[in-house]
Amino acid sequence: MKQLSCVSLAILAAISTAAMAQEPIQIIEPAKITAPKKVELGKMLFFEPRLSKSGFISCNSCHNLSLGGVDALPTSIGHNWQQGPINSPTVLNAEYGLAQFWDGRAKDLQAQAGGPIANPGEMGYTHELAVLTVNSMPAYQEKFAAIYGKDAVNIDNITNAIAEFEKTLVTPNSPFDLYLQGDKSAISAEVKSGYQLFKDKGCTSCHNGPAVGGTMYMKMGLVKPFHTKNPAQGRKAVTGNEADKFVFKVPTLRNIELTYPYFHDGATWTLEEAVNTMAEIQLGQELTAAETKEMVAFLKSLTGEQPQIVLPILPPSNAKTPRPVPFAD
């Protein structure tokens, strides 16, 4: 009898696992680090303000790992306090995206990493100067040599290392992941109702997969227009197709509680407002106050364990290192 029970339990567990496998959202796996030296080097470069013209702005400035991988501003602050054109997307779980940037103009994290360094409105540097800077420091030279071979400080390897570090920035073990893995008590009844609503209303048609987003492009304002002062054209800027106007990469909803303000224009500060806007303009629906509350509770269950980062100690500049130019412009 006892043994039969065990068998029954095993069958139930198998059924439960099979059911979970059909969920539109999958768990985030912890990072598997296969090249720790590359990750460590990438971390140094991610926190390296000398990849910017001013010597002040690093990747972490706008993708702050203390703040959910964002700057928590509507649009970012760039070189000389220039106002950025679009909301900074989170670097957390970014590897799950089908491409990078809101308009998907970079095919992967490595391609993305080179963008801000050379963007005059962001880090304001050049790839040539970034390479000169890194290559001027023996401590960096040695690390590049050990990983990439001799004389290997170049922009491809700089961005490769940054991307390898970024791939480790995943946030597993959110309450919702624990639930997906079978711990039914990991989330409240309210969260469960919110998840059911999230599926029933059709949110999962765009927000699915391990990152609860990032798997496709979609028009912002599918049913009703999205009202914004932000001039971003979305995919149209990449493809040139009029049909791609206002089509953006569907953002991840992982850690959405942390990555306010919302949407590509960063004009929406609360999850309640964001949820209602999405329901209205993408699905043509109006949520009741109770539904909004449940949906928000579900979204907050997607906040995972944040990466534990030991701040890197960067090597000192020397006479060969290009000097920062913070105030020349």
Residues found near its own copies in the complex (CB under 8 A): 47, 49-50, 54-56, 61, 64-68, 71-74, 77, 80-81, 83, 257-258, 260, 269-270, 306, 308-314, 316-317, 319, 323-324, 326-327
Nearer to its own copies, 7 or 319 (CB): 319
Annotated binding site for heme c: 59, 62-63, 79, 203, 206-207, 278
Q: How far is the CB of 156 from its own copies (least distance, A)?
A: 24
Annotated binding site: 59, 62-63, 79, 203, 206-207, 278
Q: How far apart are CA 252 and CA 209, in angstroms?
A: 9
CB 128 within 8 A of CB 158: no
Q: Which residues of 41-66 are buried (b: 16+ CB within 10 A; e: fewer)?
A: bbbbbbbbbbbbbbbebbbbbbbbbe
Six token digits for residue 206: 């765009």
Q: How far is the CB of 310 from its own copies (least distance, A)?
A: 6
CB 86 within 8 A of CB 263: no
Write down the residue that tokens 């999405």 correspond to: 278
> Which amino acid belongs to residue 298?
F
Nearer to its own copies, 206 or 302 (CB): 302
Q: How far is CA 216 from the centre of its chain?
A: 14
Nearer to its own copies, 99 or 130 (CB): 130
Q: Is residue 122 among the annotated active site residues? A: yes
Length of the chain: 329
Q: How far is the CB of 186 from its own copies (least distance, A)?
A: 20
Q: How far apart are CA 156 and CA 166, in angstroms?
A: 15
Neighbours of 321 (CB within 10 A): 17
Q: Exactly one of 95, 122, 164, 291 is catalytic; name it.
A: 122
Nearest to 220 by CA among 204, 232, 212, 210: 232
Q: How far is the CB of 256 from its own copies (least distance, A)?
A: 10
Six token digits for residue 55: 């010597």
Cis before 261 (ω within 30): yes
Q: How far apart are CA 255 and CA 268, in angstroms?
A: 16
Six token digits for residue 68: 């959910």
Nearer to its own copies, 37 or 320 (CB): 320
Q: How far is the CB of 257 from its own copies (least distance, A)?
A: 6
Catalytic site positions:
122
